[in-house]
Chains A and B, each alone.
Chain A
Amino acid sequence: MAGVAQASVESGVATFDLAKQPLRELNQFLHHGLGTTKKVRVLNPDGAHNIAAGVNAPVEVEVDGHAGYYAAGMNQLATVLIRGNAGPGVAEGMTSGVVNVKGFASVSAGAAAHGGLLVIEGDASLRCGISMKGIDIVVGGSVGDFSAFMAQAGRLVVCGDAGDALGDSLYEAVIYVRGKVKSLGADAHEEPMAAADYEALAALLKRAGLKHDPKQFRRVASKRDLYHWNADANQEY
């Protein structure tokens, strides 16, 4: 396979330079050619789409720059570090593993993802964690409007502020937010933090390498009123 042949592999580390090699070689290597490779470095990503999408192996992928759409989408088991910003839909549909974005993430980060941990050290744009189904997302900065929209399971930790309509139409996902919330979405409300919340949050912050005091966060969860459709509610929840 072309990708296998052209990867420069030294002591378990393979390097792909996307300024010289097509993205397909990298992704084919990640899907079919890893062998004993423990780590893959990606140079000059330059905003390419689908970098390290669909990986299903406990490999470490280091992206040395900015990634485009859907980086590390559908990830399973891999640890993907993006030393830059990520485009729309980073780690969308992830089921396990860790994705870490050193810069900011564009819209729909962690969308519809079932598991794993997504850490965004900068800000995340709109719709962060939209329809999340079990992923944990830790955002070091702030999140944009409609974050955790229809979020079904998992935890979203926001160390900065949240935009409008946070947690609109939430199911059983839980949001921990440290800064200001511009507005809560329909059926989302603040709840008291319990001992289990502090414990869970402390563990997530530790995994994300962030040193905030869990006591500074509030818990946002579903009122569960929308679980039961009420025709007389006049669309107000």
Chain B
Amino acid sequence: MCGIVGLLLKKPQLREQLGQLALPMLIGMTERGPDSAGFAVFTDELPDNRRKYSLHAPGWDYDWAGFEAEFIRRFGTQAQIEVKGNHAVLVCDEPADKVRPWVRQAFPKLHVLAAGRLMDIYKDVGSPADVAGRYQFEKLAGSHLVAHTRMATESAVTPDRAHPFTAGEDFCLVHNGSLSNPYQIRRQLEPLGIAFDTDNDTEAACRYFEWRMREGDDLEAAIHKGFEELDGFYTFLMGTADELALVRDAFACKPAVVAETDDYVAISSEFRSLARLPDIKNATIFEPVPEEVYVWRA
């Protein structure tokens, strides 16, 4: 069991309140996922030549200043680093195909959780309230976010196996359910040069969809191919630079509820995590039907 949470704001003036509005949604899914939590927030977009990287360190006393000095020494360009405990967001001019291999080689204990121009990711073990507090979830600003509360079934309880998973740039996925053929997907993707960070089943789905999109599918087409290729139970919620997308498998064993008003689209595993949203009593509320792809644009 896990909890999924998504919130997309329709009015730019609400963006400062994104985290504040979504915090009760995340906390409301604690019983579905008490062991880890994570969230991806889509902020203002960096210019085309800039990139940001969400990094996860093994401890809270990590030497980020040393990391920054080493970055400048290696690339000869400036970097901004915003540190929140064992996470940091690095903003720089260097592309992912240079930064990722460099981090892996020079700082093997750091994980690059995300790359792109909009998306920041924080995820860790602990209760959703603890994780949200640790990274000041309620202060998040942005157009949309994807969050998750985890009750692990398919792999160990560690920060890197918490959701959201990411692949490519500005793409993330959270999952409630379990896949029965993640290793088949891996064996299909690894010969194409796609590397995996963990043994988690959800990561296979995330990398599969991102691969399909690099092959030219739009997100909807990629999800439709997934109906054929991904076996198992799932409600997937995905975030891209300007979209939230939601899909449930043919048997719809894993729940999802959507509430929509003039101000927002809110998605959760259960209504109880939507109950504190403003104007929820007048929201249009529905359950997404199986194998239908729902996409909302920010």
A interface residues with partner B (beta carbon < 8 Å): 44, 46-49, 66, 68-69, 85, 87-88, 103-104, 106-107, 125-126, 144-145
Contacts and interface: CB of A to CB of B under 8 A. Distances in A.
B251 A68 contact: no
B271 A68 contact: yes
A106 B287 CA distance: 8
Given A126-B251, A126-B252, A104 B287 contact: yes
A126 B290 contact: yes
Contacts of A46: 271-272, 275-276
B252 A68 contact: no
Interface of B: 250-253, 255, 270-276, 285-287, 289-290
Given A106-B255, A126-B251, A66 B271 contact: yes
B252 A144 contact: yes
A107 B252 contact: yes
Given A47-B271, A85-B271, A66 B285 contact: yes
A47 B275 CA distance: 7
A144 B289 contact: yes
Contacts of A87: 255, 270-271
A144 B286 CA distance: 14
B286 A104 contact: yes
Nearest to A126: B252
Contact of B287 (A44, A47, A48, A125): A125
A44 B272 CA distance: 10
Given A88-B255, A125-B252, A47 B286 contact: no
A87 B275 CA distance: 14
- Which 5 A-B pairs give the minimum distances between C-beta atoms? A47-B272, A47-B271, A46-B275, A66-B271, A126-B252
A68 B286 contact: no
B272 A85 contact: no
User: A48, A69, A126, A144 — which one has the most chain B CB atoms within 10 A of its CB?
Assistant: A126
Contacts of B251: 126, 145
A218 B22 CA distance: 47
Contact of B272 (A68, A104, A106): A68
Nearest to A164: B250
B285 A85 contact: yes
A104 B288 CA distance: 12
B286 to A, nearest CB: 7
A47 B270 contact: yes
10 contacts: A47-B272, A47-B273, A47-B274, A66-B271, A66-B275, A68-B271, A85-B271, A103-B285, A104-B286, A125-B252
A48 B270 CA distance: 9
Contacts of A49: 272
A107 B251 CA distance: 10
Contacts of A104: 286-287
Contacts of B250: 145
A66 B268 CA distance: 14
A126 B252 CA distance: 7
Nearest to B28: A47
A44 B281 CA distance: 11
A69 B252 CA distance: 15
A146 B55 CA distance: 45
A103 B281 CA distance: 13
A192 B274 CA distance: 46
Given A47-B275, A106-B255, A125-B252, A68 B285 contact: no
